[in-house]
Every structure is written in C-alpha cells, then in structure tokens.
C-alpha cells in the first residue's frame, strides 16, 4: 500500500508542477501581450498630443496671416479717412480770400501730417497689442498641452499596470477554476513581478526578488 501512496503522491506532485508551469507560461504570455498593448496605447496618446500641438500651430499661423491682412486694410482705411479730411479742409480754404488762403493751406498740411503720424502710431500700437494677445493665447494653449501630457501618460501607464497586476488572479480563475493547495497567490504574484509595465518602476521587495529567482528555476 505504501508504494501506491508514494506513487500517487509523486503523480499529484507532477500534476501540480505541470499546472504551475501551465499557469506560469500563460501568465508570461499574457504579461507580454499586456506590455505590448500598454506601449501601443501610450504611443497612441503621444501621437494624439503631437497632433493637437500641430493643430494649435497651424491655427496660429492662419490667425497671424489674417491679422496681418486686417492690419493692412485698417491702415489703408485710416489713410483714406485722413486724406478725405485734408481734401475737404483744402476745398473749404479755397473759398477764402487769397492772403488767408495761403496761411490756411500751410496750416492744413501741417495739421494733416501731425494727425496722420499720431493716428497711425495709435493704430499700430493697438495692432501690436492684438498680435501680442494672440501670441500669448497660443503660448498658453501649448503650455497647457505640455503640462497635461505627462499627467495623461502617467494615468494611462498606471491603468495598464493595474490591469497587468490583475492577470494572475484572472488566469487562476480561467485556467484552474479553484486553486489547488500549494499554489497560492504568493507564487503567482511573484511570477507577475517578473518585468514590469512600461512607464512605471517595478515594485519588488527583497522577499519578492528571492521568490522570483526560485520560480525562474522551475
């Protein structure tokens, strides 16, 4: 009877080892898949952020171009108004007596030059401020994108890491239904600690590292 018992024990032990290896193989496969998927998702997020930056820059270029065109139109319009004003003043002065007319025309020209210089300076100052506001707005959007990206990447990396950490439990449920004795969480967690998700640091304690080394010998 003792021989049979011993054989049965050996058989059970072999079966348990086989199950361990099966779990380990599946876990390694699923972890590799999880890492690939995590990398793909992180890369996709980086690309989305890059495209957003490009859109901001493209929009900005278009806005600057439109602003330049508008500035030109405003200057021409102002010049027209000033010329019309001068022309009206001259027409009026021409009705005066000769000695008054000369003095008035000189005064009209002097006033026109002063007014033109001041009006154009004021317009250019307003246009400059508008341009600065546009540039500042663009910088602010780019700054927000730059600040958000690492947060979003960290959030996604953590989400992937958490999904990866649940793999041992999921495999145990799907492959073994119930865990046989001697194959507790500890073993699987140690297996799962082999390598870690991209964008995160491995959290291995000394004890975990040792049990990991033992497992790799299996």
Q: What CATH number does the domain containing 66 carry?
A: 1.20.1230.10
Phi-psi region of 203 (alpha: psi -120 to 50; beta: other; left: phi over 0): beta
Looking at residue 178, what is its pLDDT? 52
pLDDT (tens digit, 9 = 90+) per residue, 67-112? Answer: 999 999 999 999 999 999 999 998 888 888 877 888 888 999 999 9
Domain extent for 115: 2-217
Does the pTM surpass 0.75? The reply is no
pLDDT (tens digit, 9 = 90+) per residue, 42-70? Answer: 999 999 999 999 999 999 999 999 999 99
Higher model confidence: residue 19 or residue 128?
A: 128
Looking at residue 5, what is its pLDDT? 85
Give the distance, in angstroms, between the CA of residue 62 and the centroid of all CA atoms in the same chain: 22
Total domain count, the chain: 1
Q: Would you place residue 203 in the very low, low, confident or very high pLDDT band (cuts 50, 70, 90)? A: very low
CA distances from 113 to 23, 72, 93, 153 (A): 90, 20, 17, 60
């Amino acid at each position: 009877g003792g021989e049979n018992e011993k054989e049965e024990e050996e058989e059970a032990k072999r079966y348990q080892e086989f199950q361990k290896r099966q779990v380990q193989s599946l876990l390694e496969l699923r972890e590799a898949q999880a890492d690939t998927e995590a990398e793909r998702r992180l890369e996709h997020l980086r690309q989305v952020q890059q495209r957003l930056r490009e859109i901001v820059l493209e929009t900005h270029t278009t806005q600057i171009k439109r602003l330049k065109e508008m500035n030109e139109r405003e200057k021409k319009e102002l010049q027209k108004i000033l010329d019309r004003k001068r022309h009206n003043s001259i027409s009026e002065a021409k009705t005066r007596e000769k000695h008054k007319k000369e003095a008035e025309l000189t005064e009209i020209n002097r006033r026109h030059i002063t007014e033109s210089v001041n009006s154009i300076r004021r317009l250019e100052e307003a246009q400059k401020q508008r341009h600065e506001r546009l540039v500042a707005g663009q910088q602010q959007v780019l700054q927000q994108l730059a600040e958000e990206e690492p947060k979003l990447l960290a959030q996604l990396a953590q989400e992937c890491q958490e999904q990866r950490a649940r793999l041992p439990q999921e495999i145990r449920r799907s492959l073994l239904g119930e865990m046989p004795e001697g194959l507790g969480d500890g073993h699987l967690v140690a297996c799962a600690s082999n390598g870690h998700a991209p964008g995160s640091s491995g959290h291995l304690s000394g004890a975990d590292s040792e049990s990991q080394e033992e497992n790799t010998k299996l």
